[in-house]
Amino acid sequence: MSSALIDGQRHPAIVILDFGSQYSELIARRVRENNVYSVMTRYTTSAKEILLLNPKGIILSGGPNSVYEQGAPICDPDIWNLGIPVLGVCYGMQVMVQQLGGTVAVAKQAEYGKAPLEVDDSTDLLVNVAQGSTVWMSHGDTGKKLPEGFVRLAHTNNTPDAAIANHQRRLYGVQFHPEVIHSLYGMVILSNFVHHICGCEADWTTEVFIEEAMDQIRTQVGTKRVLLALSGGVDSSTLAFLLHKTIRNQLTCMFIDQGFMRKGEPEFLMDFFDRKFNLKVQYINARERFIEKLRGIFDPEEKRRIIGTEFIRVFEEESKLLGPFDYLAQGTLYPDVIESAGTNLDPKTGERVAVKIKSHHNVGGLPKDLQFKLVEPLRRLFKDEVRRVGRSLGLPEEIVCRHPFPGPGLAIRILGEVTSSNLNILRDADLIVREEIKQAGLYNEVWQAFAVLLPVRSVGVMGDKRTYAFPIVLRCVSSEDGMTADWSRLPYDLLESISNRIVNEVKGVNRVVLDITSKPPGTIEWE
Long-range contacts of 52-55 (CB under 8 A, 24+ apart): 52/5, 53/4, 53/5, 53/10, 53/13, 53/15, 54/10, 54/11, 54/12, 54/13, 55/12, 55/13, 55/14, 55/15, 55/82, 55/84
Binding segment toward ligand XMP, per CB under 6 A, in 102-110, 119-127, 358-366, 415-423: 358-366
Binding segment toward ligand XMP, per CB under 6 A, in 2-10, 43-51, 188-196, 355-363: 355-363
Closest-CA residue to 36 (of 196, 176, 163, 167): 196
Distance CA 299, CA 278 (A): 41
* C-alpha distance from residue 495 to each of 164, 353, 429 (Å): 52, 39, 13
Q: Which of 358, 402, 434, 457 binds ligand XMP (CB under 6 A)?
A: 358
Q: How far is the CB of 523 from ligand XMP (least distance, A)?
A: 3
Using the minimum distance from each CB to ligand XMP, give the nearer residue, 287 or 358: 358
Q: Which of 286, 363, 375, 399 binds ligand XMP (CB under 6 A)?
A: 363
Residue 310, Cα to own-chain centre: how many angstroms?
Answer: 27
Binding segment toward ligand XMP, per CB under 6 A, in 14-22, 43-51, 338-346, 402-410: 402-410
Check residue 404 for interaction with ligand XMP (CB under 6 A). yes
Q: Is 179 a catalytic residue?
A: yes
Distance CA 394, CA 411 (A): 31
Q: How far is the CB of 525 from ligand XMP (least distance, A)?
A: 3
| Residue 183 annotated in ligand binding | no
Q: Which of 364, 377, 390, 471 binds ligand XMP (CB under 6 A)?
A: 364
Check residue 378 for interaction with ligand XMP (CB under 6 A). no
Distance CA 63, CA 24 (A): 8
Q: How far is the CB of 509 from ligand XMP (least distance, A)?
A: 22
Q: How far is the CB of 472 from ligand XMP (least distance, A)?
A: 17
User: Judging by beta carbons within 10 Å of its beta carbon (0-12, 13-18, 19+), is residue 342 exposed, middle or buried?
Assistant: middle
Q: Which of 139, 244, 360, 501 binds ligand XMP (CB under 6 A)?
A: 360
Q: How far is the CB of 440 from ligand XMP (least distance, A)?
A: 21
Q: How far is the CB of 294 from ligand XMP (least distance, A)?
A: 15
Contact 301, 411 (CB under 8 A): no
Contact 525, 412 (CB under 8 A): yes
Q: Which of 281, 406, 422, 472 binds ligand XMP (CB under 6 A)?
A: 406
Q: Identify the active-site residue in 75, 139, 155, 179.
A: 179
| Residue 488 annotated in ligand binding | no
Check residue 56 for interaction with ligand XMP (CB under 6 A). no
Q: Identify the active-site residue in 155, 177, 244, 360.
A: 177
Please list the helix, strand and coil fractions of the chain in percent, rounded to the nearest 5, in that order: 35, 25, 40
Q: How far is the CB of 423 from ligand XMP (least distance, A)?
A: 17
| Residue 340 annotated in ligand binding | no
Taking CA 418 as the corner, what is the angle to CA 413 and CA 423, rounded to the nearest 5 degrees? Answer: 70
Q: Is the dihedral of CA 338, 341, 346, 349 positive or negative?
A: negative
Check residue 517 for interaction with ligand XMP (CB under 6 A). no
Check residue 523 for interaction with ligand XMP (CB under 6 A). yes
End-to-end CA distance of the chain: 36
Q: Is 196 a catalytic residue?
A: no
Check residue 300 for interaction with ligand XMP (CB under 6 A). no
Check residue 224 for interaction with ligand XMP (CB under 6 A). no
Q: Which of 27, 240, 243, 524 binds ligand XMP (CB under 6 A)?
A: 524
Contact 59, 43 (CB under 8 A): no
| Residue 237 annotated in ligand binding | yes
Using the minimum distance from each CB to ligand XMP, give the nearer residue, 54 or 518: 518
Q: What is the DSSP letter of 65?
A: S
| Residue 235 annotated in ligand binding | yes
User: Cβ–Cβ contacts within 10 Å for residue 85, how many?
Assistant: 23
Q: Is 75 a catalytic residue?
A: no
Distance CA 100, CA 281 (A): 58
Using the minimum distance from each CB to ligand XMP, give the nearer residue, 232 or 407: 407
Distance CA 229, CA 328 (A): 8
Q: How far is the CB of 382 from ligand XMP (least distance, A)?
A: 16
Check residue 310 for interaction with ligand XMP (CB under 6 A). no
Closest-CA residue to 21 (of 76, 94, 81): 94
Q: Which of 160, 342, 482, 508 binds ligand XMP (CB under 6 A)?
A: 482
Written as one string, the DSSP assignment of 344-392 is: -B-TTT--B----SS--TTTTS--TTSSSEEE-TTTT--HHHHHHHHHH
**What single-letter amino acid sits at 167?**
H
Distance CA 229, CA 240 (A): 9
Q: Identify the active-site residue in 25, 75, 90, 244.
A: 90
Using the minimum distance from each CB to ligand XMP, give the nearer residue, 342 or 404: 404
Closest-CA residue to 412 (of 306, 527, 310): 527
| Residue 319 annotated in ligand binding | no
Count, residues near ligand XMP per rule CB under 6 A: 14
Distance CA 442, CA 444 (A): 6
Check residue 448 for interaction with ligand XMP (CB under 6 A). yes
Site residues for ligand XMP, 250-269, by CB under 6 A, read: none
Using the minimum distance from each CB to ligand XMP, give the nearer residue, 141 or 376: 376
Q: How far is the CB of 61 from ligand XMP (least distance, A)?
A: 24
Check residue 408 for interaction with ligand XMP (CB under 6 A). yes
Distance CA 112, CA 365 (A): 40
Catalytic residues: 90, 177, 179
The contact set with ligand XMP (CB under 6 A) reads 358, 360, 363-364, 404, 406-408, 448, 482, 519, 523-525
Q: Which residues are annotated as a binding site for ATP?
A: 231-237
